[in-house]
Amino acid sequence: MSVELAFDWDEANVSHIARHGVDPAEAEQVLGNDPLDLNFESVEGESRWTSVGHSNALRVLLVVWTIRGDRCRVVTARSAGKKVERAYMRQRTI
């Protein structure tokens, strides 16, 4: 049984990721497709994770996200870049 993850979207984070060519559905897919966590940091007292993963169309993205209340909030998302994409794909095929 899987648990459906609820997301926190508003004009601020939707427009921010749109500037990077990412839409909310893609970012949600990445986080739902068992991404690899690359980093954890605290920013102004808020825990944030940086993860790399793939959308359903196999586009590899970096997603920075946090938990606010009972929802996942995407802070930013962008294409991973060729070097990170290759490393991610190698890790996934092992």
Q: Give 17-31 pLDDT, tens digit per residue.
A: 999 999 999 999 999
Q: How confident is the model at residue 1 (pLDDT cuts 50, 70, 90)?
A: very low
pLDDT at position 94 is 56
Q: What is the per-residue pLDDT across 21-64, written as a single tens digit (0 to 9) for each?
A: 999 999 999 999 999 999 999 999 999 999 999 999 999 999 99
**What radius of gyration do the chain's Cα atoms show?**
13
Distances (CA, A) of 70 to 5, 8, 15: 9, 9, 22
Q: Output the DSSP codes for 66-79.
A: EEETTEEEEEEEEE
Note the pTM of the prediction, 2 decimals: 0.91
Neighbours of 23 (CB within 10 A): 13
Q: How confident is the model at residue 5 (pLDDT cuts 50, 70, 90)?
A: confident
Give the helix, strand, coil percentages of the chain, each rounded to 5.
30, 40, 30
